[in-house]
Structure 1
Amino acid sequence: MLTRITYSFEKFEQVLVRGGTLTLVVALLALSWLNSPWGASWLYLWENPLTISYGTYTIAKPIGSWVQQVLLPLVYLILGMELKRVLRVGELKERTSMIFALAAALGGMLIPVAIYLYLVPPAAQAGWPVVATADAAAVLALLALASNSLPLSLRAFLSSTAIMQGIGSLLLSQVLYTSIQNLLALSVATGVFGLLVVLRALRNRTMWLYLLLGLVMLVSFLLAGVQGAVAGVLLALVIPIHSRVREEDFVTSTDTVMGQLHALRMMKRPEPGEEMEEDFQAAVHTLRANCTKALSPLRRLQQRLLPWASYLAMPLFALAFVPFAYNSFAWRDLLGPVPMGVFLALVLGKPIGILLFVWLLSLTGVAHKPPGLHWGQLTGGALLLGAGFILSLFQAQQAFAIPEQLTLVKISIYAASALAGVFGMLVLSVAGKQKDLPHPKV
C-alpha cells in the first residue's frame, strides 16, 4: 500500500509503452498470418463488408475501414488530451519549455517534408504527411528499451513532440486534401463543435454529454468525407482540464475521513486480530467517492479510455493494415524515389530538423532545452522520433491508393522505424555518461 504519488504522464507512459509493445507483437503476427497458407482468411476478414442500417439509411464498409474510421479517432482523442494536459498544467506548461517543444515539432515536420518533396515526383507529393508525423507509442516503447533511467523531462518532451507532429500532420492533410462529400454533414459537425465550445465556456462537466456530442460529430465528419480522427482531436480541445474541487477542500475532506476512522479505532479499541471491516470499508468508499469527484474531467476520461486505445485500437489497426505480401513487390523497387524519399526523410530529416531548430532557438536565447538534459540525450531522442510506425502507416493509407506503391511505402516506414530505433537507442545508451554542454551564446 505504501507508494509514491504517480503523476499523469507516468501512467500515460506505462500504458502506452505496453500498448506499443503489444502493437508490435500483433504486427509481426499479422505479417506471418498474411504470408502463411491461411493468408486468404486475413484478406476475407478485413475486406468483408460490415453493414449498419437504420430504416432507409444503410452504411456498408469493409471491417478494416470501420477499424480505421471508428477506433483510430479514439487514439487521437487520447493523444490530444495528453498534449493539452502537458501544455496547460503538466511538464511543458512553462513558456520556454513549450516553445522549445514547438520548435522541435516544427523542425521535425518541415525538414523531412522538404526532403520528401525534393526526392519524389509530383504525382506522389501528396504523401508528405507520412514523413511529417511521429508515433508517441513507438517512441516511448523504444525509450523504455533504451534505458530505465532516462529523465522524465526527456520522456515528456519527446512524447509531446511526437504528439504535436502526429496531430499537426493530420489537421494539415485534412485541410489541404479533403474533398467534402456532404456540406450538410460538415455543417452539422461544425455546429456540434461550436456547441461543445459553448458547453466548455459554461464550465459544464457532464462527461456523457461531451461523449454523446463527440460521437455525433464523428459520424457527421465521416458522412462529410473528413477523417474521423479529426473529431477525436477537436473533442480533446474542449474537455475540461481543471477539477471543480479545490486542493484545500480535497486535503481537508481526506484528513477528516482519516481522522474519523482513527477516532473509531481509539474508541472501540479492537483487540489484536479483531476486525473493523465495516468501518474500514466505509472510509475507503468515502475516500474513493471524494477522489472521483476531485479528478478533472480530462484526467478521468483519459484514465478510462487510455487502455482501450492502447490495447484495442492500435493493435487492431496493426492487425488490419500493417501486413503486406512478401511476393507483392520487387526488391529493386525499394530504391525508387517514393520509398527512398520516405526512408531518408524519416531517418535523416527528422533528427536533422529537430536538432537544427532547437539549436537555432537556443542561439536566440528565447528558450533553452529542459533542465537536466544533455544534447546527447536530445540527439538520441531526435533519432527515435523517426519511428513513425502506426501513425505514419495511417497517413500512408490515406495518401497512396495504388496497392503496389502502398506496400513499398509500408516497407520504407518499417525499415526507417527499425533503423531510427536502433541508432536512437545506441546514442541514448551512452548519452547518460556525457556531461552537459552549456547553452550556446549569441
Structure 2
Amino acid sequence: MARKPTLDFLKTEAASGSALALAAIAALLVANSPWSADYFAWLKSYHVLQLGPIRLEETISDWIKEGLMAIFFLVVGLEIKYEIVRGELSDPRKLATPVLAALGGMAGPAAVYLFLSMTMGAPHAGWPIPLATDIAFALAIFGFVGKGLPSSLRVFLLTLAIVDDLGAIALIALLFSEGANWTPLFWALGLLAAFGLIAHRIRVPTPFWVLGFSAVWYLTILSGLSTSLTAVAFAMIVPIQARKEDRQSPLKEAMHDLHPWNAFLVLPLFAFAKAGVSFAGLSLEQAFAPLVVAIALGLFFGKQIGVFGAAWLASALRIGARPTDASWLQVYGISLLCGVGFTMSLFIGVLAFPGAVDSPEQVEVKLGVIGGSILSAVGAAVVLGLAGRRPRRDPAAADPQIEPLAGSSS
C-alpha cells in the first residue's frame, strides 16, 4: 500500500530538522572561526548565469534567497494544494481550529513586537519577522518528544504551519514586492495560465515542467517580485488527478521527487547562508538590542499566546475543537513549538532589512530569531515531554465540543 503524501512529508521534514540544525551550527562555527572573512566574502561574491541572451548576476546570498528558496516555496505550494483538495484542509470542521490558531499565531507576535517597538524603539519594519513557524524544525522537535502523544497533534501542527506559511507568503506579496515591472509579470501570468491549461489536457513530461518553472521564475526576477509568489502559483497548476497511463498524479510525483532535495539541500544551504553570526566584537548592548528582544519575545510569547488563545476560543465558541484525544496542556506545548520560526523568519528578515549579510540589522535579526526559536523549542520540549507522560482522559467527557470535529470521519 502506497504511503500518503502527507505522511511522506512529515517523515521527510522531520528528518531534515537534523540537517537544518547541523547546517545552522556549522554556520555559527564558521562565522566565528579563522575562516570567518572567507565565509562572508563567499556570501557577498557575485556569480553570473548566462544562457544565450539571458543573463543574471547575483550574489551567492541572493541566488540562495531568490533561486533555491523558490524550490522551497514550490514544495510548500504543492502541500497546500494537496491539503486543500484532498487532505485536512478539505474538511471545514477539521480546518477551523488550526486556521484560527494560525491567524492568532500571526496576530500575537505582531502585537508583542509592535508594543516593544513603541516602548523600546525597535525598528517598525521588523514586525513581520516573528510571525512565521518553521515546519521542518517544529516537526523534528515534535518527532523527538512526541512519543505517547496523539497523532492528531501532528496533523494539527502541520495544518497550522501550512496556513501559517500561506499567511507569510501573503505578507511577502503585500510588503516586499513593490515596484513591479508589469510587462514580464503579465508574461509570467500568461505562461502560468497556458501551462496550466495544457497540463490538465495532456500529459506533460518532466523536462517541460522544469522548463516551464524556470521560465516563470526568470520572468518573476525581471518583474521585481519575490519568486516565492510565482513558485506557489506554479504549484497550483500542477494536476492532482492521475491519468490512466500514470501510477500517480503529477502533484504526488513532484512532492515525492522534490522533498528530499528541499529537505536536505535547499533548506540546509539557506540555514548555512543565513544563520552565520559573528560574535567578534559583539557587545552586550547589541545582544540585547531592541530589534533582538522584540523578535525573540514576539516568537516566544506572541506565538504561544496567539495560537493557544485562538484554539481555546474556537473551542469555547464551538467553532472548532481540540485535536482528538489531546489535552489542553498538549495543545499548549504545540503553541510553544510554533515559536520556532527559523527558516521563514530569517527569510522575511532578509527582505525587511535588505543589505549585507553581516550588517548590524542582519546580525540582530539572526540573534533575535535564533534566541526566540531556542526558547520556544526548549519550552515546547519540556511541556510536551511532561504532557506525554500524563495519563489520558476521555476527551469527549472532558470537552463536549470535540465530538463534531473528531467524529467527521471513521
d(CA) in 2 for partners of 1:391, 1:340: 18
CA distance in 2, matches of 1:335, 1:60: 36
Query: What is the match of residue 348 of structure 2?
Result: 395
Number of the residue aligned with 2:326: 373
1:29 maps to: 26
State the shift of 1:181 in Å: 4.6
Contact 2:102 2:160 survives alignment (8 Å): yes
**What's 1:222 paired with?**
221
**Partner SS, residue 399 of structure 2:** coil
Looking at structure 1, the residues matched to 210 and 318 of structure 2 have their Cα atoms a distance apart, in angstroms, of 43
User: 1:56, CA displacement in angstroms?
Assistant: 5.1
In the TM superposition, residue 430 of structure 1 has moved relative to its aligned partner by 2.0
Q: Which amino acid aligns with 2:399?
A: P
| 1:224-273 alpha-carbon deviations (Å, 9 max, x no partner) | 1111122221112221222234xxxxxxxxxxxxxxxxxxxxxxxxxxxx
User: Relative to 1, partners in 2 of residues 1:242 and 1:101: Cα closer, same or farther, differing over 3 Å?
Assistant: farther
Equivalent position of 2:189 in the other structure: 190
CA offsets 1:112-147 (integer angstroms, 9 cap, x no match):
112212222588323222111111001100101112
Distance in 2 (alpha carbons) for counterparts of 1:183 and 1:351: 40
Partner of 1:404: 360
Q: C-alpha distance in 2, partners of 1:96/1:73? A: 32
Once the two structures are TM-superposed, the CA of residue 324 in structure 1 deviates from its matched residue by 1.1
Q: Which residue of 2 aligns with 1:355?
A: 308
1:295-374 to structure 2, matched below 5 A, reads 295-374=248-327
2:369 corresponds to: 413
Structure 2: distance between partners of 1:129 and 1:232: 21
Residue aligning to 2:405 = none
Change (3 A) 1:198 1:57: closer
Change over 3 Å in CA distance of 1:210–1:328 after alignment to 2: farther
> More deviation in 431-440 or 28-37?
431-440
Q: Which residue of structure 2 aligns with residue 285 of structure 1?
A: none
Matched, 1:438 2:394: no
Would the aligned equivalents of 2:172 and 2:226 in 1 still touch at CA under 8 Å?
A: no
> Which of 81, 84, 103 is 1:84 aligned to?
81
Report which of the two structures shows the higher radius of gyration computed on alpha carbons: 1
CA displacement at 1:407 relative to structure 2: 0.7
- Which is further off, 83-92 or 31-40? 83-92
The letter for the 2-side match of 1:176 is L
Residue identity opposite 1:19 in structure 2: S
Label 1:140 to 1:212 Cα distance change in 2 as closer, same or farther (>3 A).
Answer: same
- Residue 258 of structure 2 aligns to which amino acid in structure 1? L
Matched residue SS, 1:325: coil
Which of 49, 52, 64 aligns to 2:61? It is: 64
Map of 2:70 onto structure 1? 73
SS in structure 1 opposite 2:98?
Answer: helix
Q: Is 1:126 aligned with 2:125?
A: yes
- Contact kept? 2:122, 2:291, Cα under 8 Å: no
Question: Match for 2:378: what amino acid?
Answer: V
Query: What does residue range 227-306 of structure 1 map to in structure 2 within 5 Å?
Result: 227-245=226-244, 293-306=246-259
How far does the alpha carbon of each residue in 1:279-328 deviate from its partner, in whole angstroms, 9 at most, with x for none? xxxxxxxxxxx8xx221211111101111001110111111111011125
Q: CA RMSD in A?
A: 2.2
- Given that residues 91 and 153 in structure 1 are in contact (C-alpha distance below 8 angstroms), is that contact kept between their aligned partners in structure 2? no
Q: 1:188 to 1:422 in 2, by over 3 A?
A: same
**Separation (CA, whole Å) in 2 of partners of 1:22 and 1:392:** 18
Measure, in 2, the Cα distance between the counterparts of 1:35 and 1:335: 19
Distance in 2 (alpha carbons) for counterparts of 1:48 and 1:334: 28
Deviations 1:338-360 (A, max 9, x none): 22111111101111111111222
Q: Give per-residue Cα distances to partners, 1:32-71, cap 9 Å, x unaligned.
A: 1121112222123222211123455532111221111111
For structure 2, which runs of at least 5 residues remain unmatched after alignment? 403-410
Partner of 2:407: none
Tell me the residue number matched to 2:204.
Answer: 206
Instruction: State the TM-score, normalized to the length of structure 1.
Output: 0.83
- Contact kept, 8 Å, 1:132 with 1:169, in 2: the verdict is yes
The partner residue of 1:42 within 28, 39, 42 is 39
Q: CA deviation at 1:204?
A: 4.2
**How far apart in 1 are the matches of 2:289 and 2:181?**
37
CA shift for structure 1 position 106: 0.7
